[in-house]
Amino acid sequence: MPTRKCNGCDGKSDHGVLLRRLDKVLREYREKPGALIPVLQIAQGLFGYLPETVLKRISLALEKPYSEVAGVVGFYSFFSRMPRGQHVVRVCLGTACYVRGGKQVLDAIRKQLGIEVGETTADGNFSLEVARCFGACGLAPAIMVDNDTHQRVKAARVQDILSQYVKRVGKAKGRSKGGKR
Ligand code: FES
């Protein structure tokens, strides 16, 4: 589960432990050229997302302007500044998928989960994102759930697909703030 509860920054809580791990990574990478992206990837792996406090810590340690660090995070879709759900559903809206019904698939997923793109269900099970191509254009429309690619998806199959990840997917309805940036 990528979302972690922050109990404060006293060095004993989960969050404190994660910050100390991040500091160790930063010491390792400080002198290395091109450290920013690998450090951000490691930090996202640790925290599940990239909160502002973490970006500021990275900015200071690597001696890079905060705007540069935040800009890199904003540029790459695999970085997230908000907590994501346990499962990330990504719907391809690249040309091949779009013309073969990707938008209808996206609408079905929005309806099924009760959230919009960039949001996370209230129970934290699913986050919804869109993408531009997974390299599976021949079998469009495609979606990804976590690292699984589902091809030739039809709107009518959406519930079956999502239920593979959470048995009682109907409970996932309801929106919360969340998503990217
Ligand atoms: S356009 Fe959707 S996988 Fe390529």
Question: From the CA of 140, how far away is ligand 1's center (Å)?
Answer: 6
133 pocket-lining for ligand 1 (C-beta < 6 Å): yes
- List the CATH number of the domain containing 93: 3.40.30.10
20 and 71 in one domain?
yes
101 and 42 in one domain?
no
What does 87-142 look like in DSSP terms, one character per residue?
EEEEEE-SHHHIIIIIHHHHHHHHHHHT--TT-EETTSSEEEEEES--S-GGG-S-
**pLDDT score of 10 more than 50:** no
**pLDDT score of 48 more than 50:** yes
124 and 62 in one domain?
no
Residue 167 lies in a domain: yes
Average pLDDT over residues 147-162: 95
Domain that holds residue 68: 4-75
Token match 């599940």: residue?
Answer: 48
> Of 54, 75, 96, which marks where a domain is finished?
75
Gap between the Cα atoms of 45 and 147, Å rounded: 15
Residue 181 lies in a domain: no
When comparing pLDDT for 3 and 60, which is higher?
Answer: 60
100 and 45 in one domain?
no
Average pLDDT over residues 55-77: 94
122 pocket-lining for ligand 1 (C-beta < 6 Å): no
Residue 179 lies in a domain: no
**Residue 84 pLDDT grade (very low, low, confident, very high; cuts 50, 70, 90):** confident
Strand ordering across the sheet containing 148-150: 148-150, 143-145, 87-92, 126-131, 120-121, 175-176
